[in-house]
Amino acid sequence: MASRITCEVHDGSPVTVVRLAGTLDLCTMRSVHRTLESCLAAQPDALVVDLGGVSVHDRLALSVFAATARRAEEWPAVPVVLCAPPPTAARWLAESTACRVVPVRRDCAEATRAAGDAAAPRLRARLEPVAEACRRARDLVGDACTRWNLPEVAGPASVVLSELVGNVVRHAGTPMQVTLTLRRPYLHVAVVDGSRAEARARTPELCAEGGRGLLLVRELAQRWGSVPAGEGKAVWAMLPTN
């Protein structure tokens, strides 16, 4: 008989809680991964995964949580906390080097408090795909760096975010959500648009805003990437704050 698992999502503010029930193994972990990816695409402030109703049949299946935490660290730059694992799963999590990136708490209430406390400050803006969007993006970076006392990051972050926004204006042509998140030691910038077309740093591109393409993003950012997000994609970059 095939194993089954259910994923009950509670979109609370500011923390999203996912309660799992059933069997977690190498087959059902795919369903869990899809659910957690969908939760991250909604850009919560934090994500808690409740394992209280789960029977873990394969320790390798727990790697889904490490993969989710690493993804969340890059985008949308939010903490992921596990809670209430059964005893065997708790031991496996403690023994796994990969899974040590995911904090584990005793119960959902404790995990929700920990996740909320770890949530990072953010600024968001909704922009239309027009030339003025690049200037508005730079203004948003200036506001964020002033608010968070990051004067040394303002210049590189303005260039990076302007390039990401300009890429949407030139290629995707859809409305976009711009987000800046201070999760030290990085300032995370991200742009979510409505196109699934992959963003690639191939050749320099010049535009009316003076952009030099995603190659410049790659040069200025510590890391950057593109991932599916809902009906479109998120292009993110991480800039060191010190």
pLDDT tens digits, 194-214: 998 877 654 444 444 444 677
pLDDT for residue 14: 84
Span 91-116, average pLDDT: 92
Q: What average pLDDT does the chain have?
A: 91
pTM, 2 dp: 0.88
Sheet holding 46-56, edge to edge: 5-11, 15-24, 46-56, 80-83, 104-105
pLDDT tens digits, 24-67: 999 999 999 999 999 999 999 999 999 999 999 999 999 999 99
Cα separation, 216 vs 115, whole angstroms: 34
| CATH code of the region 122-240 | 3.30.565.10
CATH 3.30.750.24 fits 5-118, yes or no: yes
Domain boundaries, the chain: 5-118, 122-240
pLDDT for residue 235: 96
pLDDT tens digits, 131-163: 899 999 999 999 999 999 999 999 999 999 999
pLDDT over 70, % of the chain: 93
Please report, as a single letter, which amino acid is at residue 127.
Answer: L
Q: Which candidate, 35, 14, 8, 21, places its Cα nearest to that of 112?
A: 14
Half-sphere exposure of 164 (CA within 13 A, CB side): 35
